[in-house]
């Protein structure tokens, strides 16, 4: 079955959407990749959902991606006397590493990495920034601070430190256990939380290898300072606007979103825009106009995929949210301004033969009004090189690797199909023709553009371009 859009939809699975029946309904409504949020649920819960998605995949005969999202480190205040403390702007408080009574001059903060990293003048954001304090002094086991924005500090509320790089691995012991479990299940993507530097991605690569694609969640200001290296080390990127919007000014988030999408397009890495895209639909059957515009903006920016979180995980209208997102994408991509805006943000060409061949294929397909571009790809790279051009012509990505076919469910414009590898030019032409016809991309007398790498089956060798007229 074909989608009538190029950008993909990722939906988070939760209590509202974990049954086999609801997963099928969500897929039919438009979901391309399902997200398993390991901040919630048990291993048994996720295993049941994973099995249901794989059963659905067999039923519909289409690859479906599965994204495992790891929780990452959680920095929180400890237990406070009476459960909470009301603080006002201008007041002074003290955070302590241990031995706390839980009052305003001994607020427990059991995270030595914060005491090692902060300096006077740094801000701590509590409860997603609802309370902001500024460090005025510190010792080895205490931090004195002035309240900048008052509010309530209550038990176990999260703490963000936007101006410091914390000496923390993005993978906690829980994450490592969850990761091994997910890899054994056979997830297609692993999303890393709390990435601050390129070394964090390298650490994860050492554990994951090539068993799944690594998706870096950009949610820390420190990551933005090394973003080019982080993007190159990752297989995909998520613009995690929720946490990122806590740690950088709200007004900076839209610009950062555009920068990240452009960086990923430049080197052909899928990029997801996430968080609060249709948040009103958690409790209402329709979104706000601003939310619809937010989804459309991500599509105009050239994002590969947009994501639903609480809307599909715990909301009252999960199918309606997916269907609405799909309609917004379709309408945006049909708009007369869409291609001119996409082309205006076209990244420069990388000066390599594979990129040049892929770019030529996209341009040629548009010039001759081809029915499709058929990309033979063993690793997904050939399809990604074509997709970075955001062509008007559909991309039919043919791969012999089941994992790659599922990972391509995140790539803009790619309709992935699983097929045995080809070994000769004649076989390539026959297979491309058959797939274009069987997947309803072309009819008799149509032209298709076929892209492959020779030797066949060797990853990364995009070097062959051919025009075929179906007879």
**Is 327 a known active-site residue?**
no
β-bridge partners, 13:
36
Would the pLDDT of 463 be above 90? no
Element (H, E) at 218: strand 213-218
What gap in Å lies between CA 347 and CA 277, rounded to an integer?
A: 25
Q: Given 54, 74, 76, 392, which residue is catalytic?
A: 76
pLDDT band at 388; cut points 50, 70, 90: very high
Predicted pLDDT of residue 349: 65
| Residue 244, CA distances (Å) to 91, 150, 214, 253 in order | 27, 21, 19, 7
**Is 76 a known active-site residue?**
yes
Would the pLDDT of 336 be above 70? yes
What is the number of residues in the chain?
Answer: 471
pLDDT band at 34; cut points 50, 70, 90: very high
pLDDT band at 454; cut points 50, 70, 90: confident
Predicted pLDDT of residue 25: 98
The lowest-confidence range among 34-43, 217-226, 420-429, 430-439 is: 420-429
Q: Given 35, 220, 403, 406, which residue is catalytic?
A: 35
pLDDT tens column, 261-302:
999 998 899 999 999 999 999 999 999 999 999 999 999 999
- % of residues, the chain, pLDDT over 70: 99
**Is 390 a known active-site residue?**
no
Q: Are 443 and 455 in contact (CB under 8 A)?
A: no
pLDDT tens column, 135-170:
999 999 999 999 999 999 999 999 999 989 999 999
Range(s) for CATH 3.20.20.60 in the chain?
8-73+169-334
Range(s) for CATH 3.40.1380.20 in the chain?
353-469
Q: Given 216, 275, 377, 462, which residue is catalytic?
A: 275
Predicted pLDDT of residue 100: 72
**Is 74 a known active-site residue?**
no
Mean residue pLDDT of the chain comes to 94
Q: Write out the CATH class of domain 81-160.
A: mainly beta
Q: Given 62, 217, 256, 389, which residue is catalytic?
A: 217
Range(s) for CATH 2.40.33.10 in the chain?
81-160
The lowest-confidence range among 27-41, 93-107, 184-198 is: 93-107
What gap in Å lies between CA 124 and CA 67, rounded to an integer?
A: 31
Predicted pLDDT of residue 104: 85
353: CB partners within 8 A, 6+ apart:
462, 463
Would the pLDDT of 462 be above 90? no
Q: What fold does the segment set 8-73+169-334 form as a domain?
A: TIM Barrel (3.20.20)
The lowest-confidence range among 56-65, 285-294, 413-422 is: 413-422
Mean pLDDT of 298-314: 98
Q: Write out the CATH class of domain 353-469.
A: alpha beta
Predicted pLDDT of residue 453: 84
Predicted pLDDT of residue 350: 65
203: CB partners within 8 A, 6+ apart:
169, 170, 171
């Amino acid at each position: 079955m074909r989608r009538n859009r190029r950008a993909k939809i990722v939906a988070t699975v939760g209590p509202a959407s974990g049954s086999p029946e609801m997963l099928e309904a969500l897929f039919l409504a438009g979901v391309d990749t399902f997200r398993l949020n390991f901040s919630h649920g048990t291993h048994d819960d996720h295993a049941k959902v994973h099995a249901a998605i794989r059963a659905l995949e067999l039923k519909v005969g289409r690859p479906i991606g599965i994204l495992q999202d790891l929780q990452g480190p959680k920095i929180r205040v400890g237990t406070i006397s009476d459960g909470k403390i009301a603080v006002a702007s201008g007041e002074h408080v003290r955070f302590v590493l241990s031995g706390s009574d839980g009052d305003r001059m001994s607020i427990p903060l059991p995270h030595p990495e914060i005491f090692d990293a902060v300096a006077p003048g740094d801000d701590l954001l509590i409860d997603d920034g609802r309370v902001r304090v500024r460090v005025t002094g510190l010792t080895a086991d205490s931090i004195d601070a002035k309240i900048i924005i008052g509010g309530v500090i209550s038990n176990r509320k999260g703490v963000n430190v936007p101006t410091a790089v914390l000496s923390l691995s993005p993978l906690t012991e829980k994450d490592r256990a969850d990761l091994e479990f997910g890899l054994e299940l056979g997830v297609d993507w692993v999303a890393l939380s709390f990435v601050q530097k390129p070394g964090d991605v390298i650490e994860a690569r050492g554990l994951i290898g090539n068993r799944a694609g690594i998706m870096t969640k950009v949610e820390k200001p420190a990551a933005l300072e090394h973003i080019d290296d982080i993007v190159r080390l990752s297989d995909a990127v998520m613009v995690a606007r929720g946490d990122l919007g806590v740690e950088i000014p709200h007004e900076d988030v839209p610009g950062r979103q555009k920068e990240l999408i452009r960086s990923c397009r430049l080197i052909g890495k899928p990029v997801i825009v996430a968080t609060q895209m249709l948040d009103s639909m958690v409790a209402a059957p329709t979104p706000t106009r601003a939310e619809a515009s937010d989804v459309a903006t991500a599509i105009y920016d050239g994002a590969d995929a947009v994501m639903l979180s609480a809307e599909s995980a715990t909301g009252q209208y999960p199918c309606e949210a997916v269907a609405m997102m799909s309609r917004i994408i379709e309408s945006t991509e049909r708009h007369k301004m869409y291609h001119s805006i996409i082309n205006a943000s076209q990244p420069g060409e990388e000066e390599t033969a594979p990129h040049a061949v892929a770019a030529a294929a996209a341009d040629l397909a548009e010039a001759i009004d081809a029915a499709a571009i058929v990309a033979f790809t063993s690793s997904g790279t050939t399809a990604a090189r074509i997709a970075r051009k955001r062509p008007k012509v559909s991309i039919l990505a043919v791969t012999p690797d089941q994992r790659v076919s599922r990972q391509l469910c995140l790539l803009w414009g790619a309709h992935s199909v699983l097929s045995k590898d080809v070994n000769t030019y004649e076989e390539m032409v026959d297979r491309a023709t058959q797939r274009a016809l069987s997947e309803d991309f072309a009819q008799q007398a149509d032209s298709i553009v076929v892209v492959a790498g020779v030797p066949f089956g060797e990853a990364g060798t995009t070097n062959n371009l051919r025009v075929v007229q179906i007879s």
